[in-house]
Every structure is written in structure tokens, then in C-alpha cells.
Amino acid sequence: MAVESAPFGAAAPLAPAAPQQLLRFITCGSVDDGKSTLIGRLLYESRQVFDDQLAMLETDSKRDGTQGDELDFALLVDGLSAEREQGITIDVAYRFFATERRKFIVADTPGHEQYTRNMVTGASTAELAIILIDARKGVLTQTRRHSYLVSLLGIRRIVLAINKMDLVDYSRETFQRIERAYVDFAAQIGLADVVAIPVSALRGDNIIEPAVTMPWYRGPTLMAHLERVPLDEPLKARPFRMPVQWVNRPNPEFRGFAGLIVGGGVCVGDSIRVLPAGLATRVARIVTPQGDRTEALAGQSVTLTLEDEIDISRGDLLVAADSPAGVAERFEATIVWMSGEPMLSGRPYLFKCGTRTVTADIERVEYKINVNTLERHPAQRLELNEIGLATVRLDQPLAFDPYLENRDTGGFILIDRFSNNTVGAGMLQGALPTGSSLHWQSLDVDKARRAAQKNQQACVLWLTGLSGAGKSTIANLVEKKLVGLGRHTYLLDGDNVRHGLSRDLGFDEAGRVENVRRVVEVTRLMIDAGLIVLVSLISPYRADRSRARSLLADGEFIEVFIDTALADAERRDPKGLYRRARKGELRHFTGIDSPYEAPESPEIRIDTARTSAEQAAEQIVSYLRNAGIIGRDWAFIP
């Protein structure tokens, strides 16, 4: 294999007349489209492959190659040993090459179905995407999937590399047919800037040099296009944005704010605002080790000092005063889920956007998107590699821009609070009402005071168990005993709340989750009022009960598991519901066609096979006495 032809790299300038620019792009294709071969070819042709690496490649090609005696360029880029053995690419790899005009960073991502998360990761920093198509196969489902993901991440420039032209006899008709099909599809998802190039990565046709095999093609070669394509609309055309990373205080006289400018530019004297607080000031100095500067641009890391002494810390966003970012606590966001544990509505995650980390609750999932058909489906959760639209509520206000206006102030990651893993990535679409206009009114009389007045501690006895287990009977007896002891109580019964508070809800999983949520909120209010609350509710899902527990103070949530075998409950069947469920008249009936997740460590467990309702009630009241929730001797006071 000859190595003489090396038109690029060798001539890369020592001190270029015009500074080299940087273009980051992503390559998308499936296992067989020849993507690794294409990247290997780009590296080789731009002379990024050294003799020792070439020697290793020759050895590797003989041993592992799929190209007979030819060099297998794919082996240049397949890194970890596991994937070498499997012959596929996993994870995102970054490759580098340079020409006289530009330096390129390539995000090389695998194309198979389960690796949406890798593609999204690679696309998040790319300005252009090369979509590879096998000329023999044309536009496939995966082509549409890749294109959708690329458009979702805000990439607007597409190169359609129609590869393996050598295997279709360099047919112009084939090329044009695929190009037309793709352009039609791309327009539907908002990708208007598509440049199609017929190539053979294996033969090197139209990669660097125009292919003699395809004289009918007059457009640029792949490399020529990458070198000359205009870069994305520069960030500097947008309004000034700088997330504050760190406050630099080397001595009492100096207070600088360090950060990377992610939008617009800034000059000394410019009026800016500090969000989310909203305070206004002006830029006093732009400080660098080489002396002060008068202006700075998007893409630069700077240290600013300001004219006024205002309280600014990491996580604040500096913005142009005349074009500030929005501030909100509740958002609509597209989320890509990246963890094996599903994303559940109602579960809190850490949320990092720019330099600000807050706690986020997924309020609800609106729908998920089938990335192959682009159809929307109703959903309550997102699984690994699923994409959906969700409502996200933060525990603090966030300064933001919609993602398509600015990736840095509109893109976020979600972090699991326990494993610390990055479990999701999202793009803010816009703010939703509430949040900033709602305030928590603080009151002088609090829960402890109200409970003390009643000589008790507020809490909830949460009775969970199958239908017909005896929850309502036991709860009723407990309440009678407590009232007899002079306690202040309220019983929220599962059947009764369905007549009013939750009349609009069904019995499917979503309806049950919402029903429990409402009961929990009412319980919180009653606990705040100082009451001992009894909840009698099947509440079949462990996650809902632990959420209820997490919303209350330590010791306030007392889980009482009314433990009955399904056969016993079904035999008793006081309301005739099991019979109807068995006949198919009732759907989603717990124990029959809907699961019951038993508590793992309830505070109180009542085994109804051995305990009468009266004994159970007594057992619960003793628990309250022993836990100090009701005084021991109160019963003897007249």
C-alpha cells in the first residue's frame, strides 16, 4: 500500500496566514454502512496515520480484517478490545484530523438500535452530521432514526454520504433516487440543508479526490465540503450569556466572575443582568493574564469584574440587560433516557444546566416518541433509549433559553441522586405557568403548635393491603378508640375519596398513581393541621408509598400492612368485587390483573389469619403509645 499521496496534514501550516477553524461533526450509520471504514479513510488520507500505526494496521488487517489482503481501515478506529472481538462499535469515540483550513473533531457513534444515548451524546457537541447510506439499500428505518436524533439535538447541516457506490456500478440513477427520497423525508423533520455526495470509502472515491469513476458528479468531494461548509450561525450573533463558574477572590480588593461565554459578546461598560435574581450592573473589566481587554466573544473563557457590589455566586447567569434569558421553575422538556432504571414521574433527580444544579421532579410524561415512525404514544415512564416530552418542576428558579436558541442555556442532564450516574439528557422547550407567580406564605402557627394544642403528635397511619383485607374495618375501630382517648383524627377512606376528590380518575395505573398523590397531599394538609390521619387505601405500588413517606417528616408516616392471602380476601369478598373481576367485568383489579407490591418493612404488620380486627386495632393503638405519638396516661384523665 502506497503512502505517497498525502495532500493534507503535511502542508498544515506552522503559523497559518488565517487561523485554522474548528469543525465538530458526527458520523451516523449502521454496522454495515462502512462508517468505520470512512473515518479510517479520512484519517489515513489526511495523514493522521503514522508508520508504526500503519505497520500495526497491516498486521491487524491480516489477522482480523474483512478486506482480504487490503488494509481494513475500520481497524484503525475500533478501539476497546471487547468491540474488536465483536466487530461492532460501542460508545462514542472522538477522532481528530486537520487540513490547512480546519481542524476536525469527529464524534464516531454506533448506529444500532439500543445506542440512542451514544448518538445523542455525540450529536450534542456537533455542528454537522454525516449520515451514511449503503447505496444498495437506500433510505432505511435507521437512516430516519439517525436523522431525527440529529435534528432533535439542533444540528442543521447534513451531509448525506451515499456509500458503496462501487457496488452499484457507480450508478447515477441509484444516487439520485436515494437523494430524492432522503431530501423529501428530511424536509418533514426540518432538515433543509442536505448535501448528498456519492462515495466509496473502501476505494477512496470522492473522499479527497474527485472520483474518475463518477464523472457525472460535479459537486465537492467529502473533504472539500467539510473544509468549506459555513460554520453554524456563530454563537456570537445571539444575546450575551455567561454562566458563572466560580467567583475569583484572591484579595479583598478583587472580585472576579469566571465563566465561558456561551452567547454573544461583551464589552467593558455593557449593561448586564444577573439571573435569576434580576439585579442590573455594568461590566467594569475583562481581566486576562496578558492585561485587560475591552471585549470578549462567545466561546472564550473569561474573568469579568462588575461595577456594583452585588451578590453573585456559581450557578448564576450573566445576560445582556436588553435581551435577558427567561426565568422559570416549571418547564416542558424533551428528555432522552439513558439509564436501565426507567424514568418515573414523581421521582426527584438532580438537574444540571449550565453551572446550576437543582432538584427536579418529573411532574408527568406527556408522551414518548417512536424514533422509527416519529409517532407519539401516551406514556407514564421512559425506558432506556426512549425519548419523550415531559413536564419538569424545579425546586428553585432557573434562568434559561429554549434549547434551539442556545444549547448551553437550554440543555440539561439528569443525575440519579443515589448512584450519581447521568441518567438522562434534556432540552428545554419552554416555561410553563405557575412557579414564579406562586409564593409560599409562611404562617406563625405551625404544625408542632397545632399538634401540641391537641396533646399529640401529628402522623398518618397508612393502611395498605388487598381489597377485602379488612383495612376499612380496622381503620374504623382504631379511629373510634383514638377519639375515645380524646385524640383528634380523620379517616381518609379509599372508597370515599373516589366519590369526590378523585371522582374523575380511573383504576388503571396512571389513575391509581394520581389518586395516591391526591390522598398524600390531603394527608399532608391534615398532618399540618396537627391531626392523626388514618388512610385506608389499597395503594398497591411500593413507589407511591415510598414517595408518600419521603414527603413527610421522619416518623410521621406509619405504614400498616394488612396482610391477607389473596385466597382469603377473595373468599370473604365483602363487596362482591372479586367475583366481578373474575368474570371480567372489572379491569385492573388488584390481585387479579393488576399487581400488589407488598411492603418490605412496614412499621406494623397485621396478619389477618391470626388476628381479629379488634386485636389489630389494639395493636395499632399500642404502637402509637410506644412511639410517643399519644401520651401513655391520657386515657385515665377524666
Partner 1 sequence: MSELSHLARLEAESIHILREVYAEAERPVLLYSIGKDSSVLLHLALKAFYPARLPFPLLHVDTTWKFREMIAFRDQTAERLGLDLIVHVNTEGLALGLSPFGPGASTHTDVMKTQALRQALDLHRFDAAFGGARRDEEKSRAKERVVSIRSAQHRWDPKRQRPELWRLYNTRKAAGESLRVFPLSNWTELDVWQYILQEQIPIVPLYYARERPVVERDGALIMVDDERLPLRAGEQPQLRKVRFRTLGCYPLTGAIDSDADTLPAIIREMLAARTSERQGRVIDQDGIASMEKKKREGYF
Task: Report 367-426 residues binding partner 1 (CB under 8 A).
Answer: 407-408, 411-413, 415, 420-422, 425
Tell whether residue 52 is a contact of partner 1 (CB under 8 A): yes
Of 595, 587, 390, 598, residue with least CA distance to 508: 587
Q: What is the DSSP string of 160-188?
A: EEEE-GGGGTT-HHHHHHHHHHHHHHHHH
Minimum distance from residue 22 beta carbon to partner 1 (Å): 4
Taking CA atoms, 512 is separated from 294, 537, 539, in Å, by 60, 10, 8
Residues within window 82-141 making contact with partner 1, judged by CB under 8 A: 82, 84, 91-96, 98, 102-103, 105, 108, 117-118, 120-121, 124-125
Tell whether residue 338 is a contact of partner 1 (CB under 8 A): yes
Report the residue number, 50 or 636, with the smaller CB distance to partner 1. 50
Tell whether residue 171 is a contact of partner 1 (CB under 8 A): no
Q: Distance (Å, rounded) from C-alpha 62 to C-alpha 286?
A: 57
Of 404, 392, 408, 402, residue with least CA distance to 356: 408
Report the residue number, 300 or 473, with the smaller CB distance to partner 1. 300
Report the residue number, 168 or 387, with the smaller CB distance to partner 1. 387
Chain centroid to CA 29: 23
Cell (9 digits) for 619: 395493636
Residues within window 571-600 making contact with partner 1, judged by CB under 8 A: none
Residues within window 214-233 making contact with partner 1, judged by CB under 8 A: 231
Of 376, 381, 371, residue with least CA distance to 341: 381
Tell whether residue 156 is a contact of partner 1 (CB under 8 A): no
Residues within window 250-269 making contact with partner 1, judged by CB under 8 A: 250, 254, 256, 258-260, 262, 265
Contact mark string toward partner 1, 272..311, x via CB under 8 A = ---------------xxx-----x-x-xxx-x--------
Using the 8-state DSSP alphabet, how is residue 135 labeled? T
Contact mark string toward partner 1, 522..561, x via CB under 8 A = ----------------------------------------
Residues within window 22-41 making contact with partner 1, judged by CB under 8 A: 22
Task: Look up 442 and say whether it is catalytic.
Answer: no
State the burial class of residue 460 (Cβ atoms within 10 Å of its Cβ: 0-12, 13-18, 19+).
buried
3 state DSSP class of 197: strand
Q: Distance (Å, rounded) from C-alpha 269 to C-alpha 361?
A: 40
**Phi, psi at 345, each rounded to 5°:** -70, 145
Minimum distance from residue 599 beta carbon to partner 1 (Å): 28
Tell how strand 422-431 and strand 256-260 pair up: unpaired
Which amino acid, residue 108?
D
- The residue annotated as part of the active site, out of 46, 147, 345, 539, is 539
Taking CA atoms, 498 is separated from 91, 275, 578, in Å, by 49, 44, 19
**Phi, psi at 494, each rounded to 5°:** -55, -45
- Residue of the chain from 213, 245, 436, 546 that contacts partner 1 (CB under 8 A): 245
Minimum distance from residue 276 beta carbon to partner 1 (Å): 19
- Residue of the chain from 234, 278, 378, 584 that contacts partner 1 (CB under 8 A): 234
Report the residue number, 47 or 488, with the smaller CB distance to partner 1. 47
Q: Distance (Å, rounded) from C-alpha 317 to C-alpha 353?
A: 11
Q: How many residues comprise the chain?
A: 638
Report the residue number, 408 or 493, with the smaller CB distance to partner 1. 408
3 state DSSP class of 70: coil
Q: For the chain, what is the radius of gyration of the CA atoms? A: 32
Report the residue number, 180 or 249, with the smaller CB distance to partner 1. 249
Taking CA atoms, 558 is separated from 252, 596, 619, 622, in Å, by 53, 19, 13, 13
Minimum distance from residue 430 beta carbon to partner 1 (Å): 19
Report the residue number, 77 or 197, with the smaller CB distance to partner 1. 77
Minimum distance from residue 428 beta carbon to partner 1 (Å): 12
- Residue of the chain from 156, 255, 293, 314 that contacts partner 1 (CB under 8 A): 314
Taking the chain, what is the end-to-end CA distance rounded to the nearest angstrom?
104
Report the residue number, 51 or 633, with the smaller CB distance to partner 1. 51
Report the residue number, 353 or 617, with the smaller CB distance to partner 1. 353
Neighbours of 8 (CB within 10 A): 20
Minimum distance from residue 35 beta carbon to partner 1 (Å): 14
Beta bridge partners of 377: 368
Cell (9 digits) for 365: 410524561
Contact mark string toward partner 1, 4..23, x via CB under 8 A = -----xxxx-xx---xxxx-
Omega before residue 276 within 30° of 0, cis: yes
Report the residue number, 93 or 516, with the smaller CB distance to partner 1. 93
Q: Quick check: 368 and 413 in contact, CB under 8 A?
A: no
Minimum distance from residue 241 beta carbon to partner 1 (Å): 12
Calculate the CA dihedral of residues 86, 89, 91, 94 and round it to 10 degrees: 140
Minimum distance from residue 319 beta carbon to partner 1 (Å): 17
- Residue of the chain from 7, 31, 53, 381 that contacts partner 1 (CB under 8 A): 53
Tell whether residue 352 is a contact of partner 1 (CB under 8 A): yes
Of 174, 158, 24, 30, residue with least CA distance to 88: 30
Q: Enumerate residues 6+ apart whose C-beta is below 8 A from 443.
A: none
- Residue of the chain from 350, 404, 432, 529 that contacts partner 1 (CB under 8 A): 350
Tell whether residue 2 is a contact of partner 1 (CB under 8 A): no
Judged by CB under 8 A, the number of residues near partner 1 is 80
Minimum distance from residue 78 beta carbon to partner 1 (Å): 8
Minimum distance from residue 492 beta carbon to partner 1 (Å): 38
Report the residue number, 288 or 455, with the smaller CB distance to partner 1. 288
Give me the active site residues, please. Answer: 539
